[in-house]
Amino acid sequence: MGIVPIRCFTCGSIIGDKWEEFKRRVDAGENPGKVLDDLGVKRYCCRSMLISHVEIIDDLLKYFMVGRSISNE
Amino acid sequence: MQIEILKKSYAEVHFIVRGVSPRFMNSLRRAMMADVPVMAVDDVYIVENTSVMYDEVLAHRLGLIPLKTDLDYYVLPEECGCGSETGCHKCSAVLVLNVEGRENGVTVVYSKDLKPHEANPEVKPVNEKIPIVKLAPGQRIKLEAYARLGKAIKHAKWSPVVRCTYKYYPVILIVDSKCTGCGLCIDVCHKNVFTLKSGKAYVVNQLECDLCDECVDRCAQNALNVDFDKNSLIFFLETTGSLPAWKVLSEACRILKLKSEAFLKQLNELGVV
């Protein structure tokens, strides 16, 4: 569904809670590897989960909101 | 058997065990992974879900959220005598999720919104900041989730551990008379086991070595030898946070003991022992 996975697919550790901080800090220009170190994401299975994630649900919600404003008119 | 603790926190224990066979530690490892029960959302009754996420995906995500577990109070549903389909207060806990999207912007539903019922306030998500789903204005989720004890043999959501592994204790020997201090082993080691000390290679992070033998292959002087101690193991245990690491260890030992005793009892009854 395009939202960040709750757990790492490989080892099962919780990574969902780290996504928002990871995204915010990387967008602000920090080095992704350093942010992951700070967040305590040690194994490369978990690191790849966050690095390769694309949050598609935000785009899906835009369609819903446009549809809603049209039906309100 | 001799145990040395390397690291100990709520969710993590690392230790060295000496004088033990890998076979024994492996049975303990497997007991920790698949036999120690924890709480996880098992049944979800969805009253309303107008989000972009399908009901089953939502239920699956709820199942993966680790919950605080009280092993002294709760019993496994199959061992509970209540006979109820949804379970009684001893074998199930109820959590409620009831969120509506705010009028402006996107509302993120976090694991902290998954509220435990007042009858079981202690069964709550370990982490409050896990995003479950995002809601557009007007979208709504209303559901009741039943959490139960379970074992990871059935589903991985019931596994108390994240990392539960061991490796042999590495033994690294450097023959000083052969070492020329070329530094190749330092360059090639990705675990930074070596350093240069007065013109010779020197081992600083022995426990970090994962026995890849890359340094042995590269050393032109044959000054290096990497071996392992067959009867010493380094164990790494990390839990999801639903149970403290020490509790997972002790519970696994208790379960192994119970199983061995049941086995011995049967043998006794059959007259074998």
Q: What's the pLDDT tens digit per position in A35-55?
A: 999 999 999 999 999 999 999
Distances (CA, A) of A73 to A59, A64, A66, B90, B135: 22, 15, 11, 53, 21
> In this structure, is residue B228 part of a structural domain?
yes
Candidates B52, B159, B162; nearest CB to A57: B52
Query: B212 and B130: one domain?
Result: no
**Domain contains B255:** no
Residue A32's domain comprises: 16-72
The answer to whether residue B185 is domain-embedded is: yes
Tens digits of per-residue pLDDT, B6-22?
Answer: 999 999 999 999 999 99
Residue A64 lies in a domain: yes
B55 and B149 co-located in one domain: yes
pLDDT of B259 strictly over 70: yes
Please give the residue range of the domain that contains residue B131. Answer: 38-156
Query: Helices B245-269 and B22-34 meet at what angle, rounded to 10?
Result: 110
CB proximity under 8 Å: B 35-74 to A: 52-54, 57, 61, 64-66
In this complex, do B130 and A17 lie within 8 Å of one another by their Cβ atoms? Answer: yes
Residues B126 and B174 in one domain: no
Q: Is A68–B126 a contact, with Cβ atoms under 8 angstroms apart?
A: no
CB contact under 8 A, A14 and B240: yes
> What are φ and ψ of residue B14, in 5° steps?
-120, 135
Out of A4, A11, A68, name the one closest to residue B131 (CB).
Answer: A4
C-alpha distance from residue B97 to each of B35, B43, B260 (Å)? 29, 13, 42
B130-157 tens-digit pLDDT: 999 999 999 999 999 999 999 999 999 9
> Domain for residue A55, yes or no?
yes
Please tell me the distance in Å from B251's CA to the nearest CA on chain A: 20
Which region among B19-33, B77-91, B150-164 has the lowest average model confidence (pLDDT)? B77-91
**pLDDT tens profile B90-116:** 999 999 999 999 988 899 999 999 999
Q: Is residue A29 part of a domain?
A: yes
pLDDT grade for A69, boundaries at 50, 70 and 90: confident
In a domain, B208, yes or no: yes
Contact A3 B134 (CB under 8 A): yes
Show residues of chain A in contact with B130, CB under 8 Å.
6, 14, 16-17
CATH of the domain at A22: 1.10.10.60
Which pLDDT tens digit goes with each residue over B149-206? 999 999 999 999 999 999 999 999 999 899 998 989 999 999 999 999 888 899 999 9
pLDDT at res. A65: 84
B27 with B45, same domain: the answer is: no
Is A6 within a domain?
no
Residue B71: inside a domain, yes or no?
yes
pLDDT at res. A67: 81
Residue B214: the pLDDT is 92
**Domain membership flag for residue B271:** no
- Any domain includes B103: yes
Q: Is A9 domain-assigned?
A: no
The mean of the pLDDT values for chain A is 92
Average pLDDT of A58-63? Answer: 90
Regarding whether B42 and B133 lie in a shared domain, the answer is yes
Q: Does residue B22 sit in the same domain as residue B50?
A: no
Nearest to B120 by CA among B89, B146, B143: B89
A7 part of a folded domain: no
Assess whether B64 and B146 both reside in one domain. Answer: yes
Task: State residue B46's pLDDT score.
Answer: 97
What pLDDT score was predicted for residue A45? 95
**Distance in Å, alpha carbon of A37 to nearest chain B alpha carbon:** 16
Residues B95 and B173 in one domain: no
Q: Are residues B16 and B57 in the same domain?
A: no
**Average pLDDT for B240-247:** 95
> Exposure pattern of B55-67 as b/e (b: 16+ CB <10 Å)?
eeebbbbbbbbbb
CB spacing of B238 vs A13 below 8 angstroms = yes
Q: What is the mean pLDDT of residues B58-66?
A: 96
Q: How far is B271 from chain A (nearest CA, A)?
A: 44
CB contact under 8 A, B53 and A1: yes
Q: Give me B31's structure tokens.
A: 């007991």
Please answer yes or no on whether A12 and B238 come within 8 Å at the CB atom: no
Considering chain B, what is the average pLDDT of its residues? Answer: 94
In this structure, what are the phi and psi dihedrals at residue B17, rounded to the nearest 5 degrees?
-115, 125
Task: Answer whether B106 touches A (CB < 8 Å).
Answer: yes
Looking up residue B132, the CATH number of its domain turns out to be 2.170.120.12
In Å, what is the CA distance from A4 to each residue of A7, A52, B2, B153? 9, 10, 43, 26
Say if A54 falls within a structural domain: yes
Q: Which residue has the tokens 């209540």?
A: B82
| Any domain includes A42 | yes
B141 and B170 assigned to the same domain: no
Instruction: Answer yes or no: do B221 and B114 share one domain.
Output: no
Residue B101 maps to a domain = yes
Question: How many structural domains compose chain B?
Answer: 2
Final residue in a domain of this structure, among B156, B177, B207:
B156
State residue A1's pLDDT score.
53
For residue B159, which residues of chain A lie inside 8 Å, CB to CB? 12
Beta pairing, strands B107-110 & B131-135:
antiparallel
Same domain, B91 and B173: no
- Number of domains composing chain A: 1
Q: Is the predicted pLDDT of residue B123 greater than 90, yes or no?
A: yes
Share of chain B above pLDDT 70, in %: 100
pTM over 0.80: yes
